[in-house]
Amino acid sequence: MNRTPQRAVAAVLLAALAGWLAQSWYARLAGDRRASTEAATGAPVMPPADAPTSPDAPTSPDAPTSPEEALAPAPTAIPDRLPDFSLADSRGKPTPISTWAGKSLMLNFWATWCAPCRREIPLLETLRRDWSAQGFEVIGIAVDHRPDVVDFARRLNIDYPLLVGEEDALDVAAAVGFESPAFPFTVFTDRKSRVVALFVGELHPPQANLILTTVERLNAGDIELAAARSTIRAGLRKLR
């Protein structure tokens, strides 16, 4: 009996199965790229921890008001405080987020394949230079393969700290409210590690400076956390 046709069919089926498994894993790792591209058109700061997140909750005045905003996936439950976590740095050394305790953080979740993520990098470097004296730090959290991130960071000479992960970085994204994140997104904290804002999409100078100026006022005790969140939401609505 000639087994060549049967072997050919088996090979095709195995190849298809392998392709499906790889696709499923990468979809989990990379998230929804379509959502990432659409979110980059100008998604809002998502509701903070004190805003209603239940599907049955009353409609918030900060609910999406445009098709672009509606396309950006909303966090499920943003925590009051930044969760404690540890990821490997660009050299592979496990690095707890508590390394930067006492600083206000800009945690930028990104990937090398994400175009708006790449466009943000010069701004993030500028923000770090302009705001480091006020106790702010930029940390890039790359949800990507380590060799790709290391090569990309070397070529662009990225000057802010990078943490790198695949499934473990996705776990961190889930801990701040995104089970299926859209990239890029940035978490802003005050010096007490309280989550002040979560911005989905590509940052631009007006939005970044509004948020950071408000966080600086919060750090100085000139404004309370709830008022800081409201100020940021109102200011970003005006900018849009």
Q: Give the count of alpha carbons within 13 A of 49, CB side only.
A: 16
- Residue 61: give the domain boundaries: 33-239
Q: Are strands 86-89 and 185-189 parallel, antiparallel or unpaired?
A: unpaired
* Token representation of residue 159: 């000057």
**Do both 143 and 216 map to the same domain?**
yes
Task: Give the position of tokens 């007490």.
Answer: 192
Q: Are strands 136-143 and 162-165 parallel, antiparallel or unpaired?
A: parallel
**Do both 229 and 126 map to the same domain?**
yes
Per-residue pLDDT of the chain (240 residues; tens, 9 = 90+): 555 555 544 444 444 444 443 334 344 444 443 333 333 333 444 444 344 333 333 333 333 333 333 334 555 578 899 999 999 999 999 999 999 999 999 999 999 999 999 999 999 999 999 999 999 999 999 999 999 999 999 999 999 999 999 999 999 999 998 887 889 999 999 999 999 999 999 999 999 999 999 999 999 999 999 999 999 999 999 998
Task: Look at phi and psi of residue 31 and say left if phi exceeds 0, alpha if psi is from -120 to 50, else beta.
Answer: left
Sign, CA dihedral 114-116-122-127, equals negative
**Do both 186 and 209 map to the same domain?**
yes
Report field, pTM of the whole predicted structure over 0.95: no
Q: Quick check: helix, strand or coil at residue 30?
A: helix
**Do both 23 and 40 map to the same domain?**
no
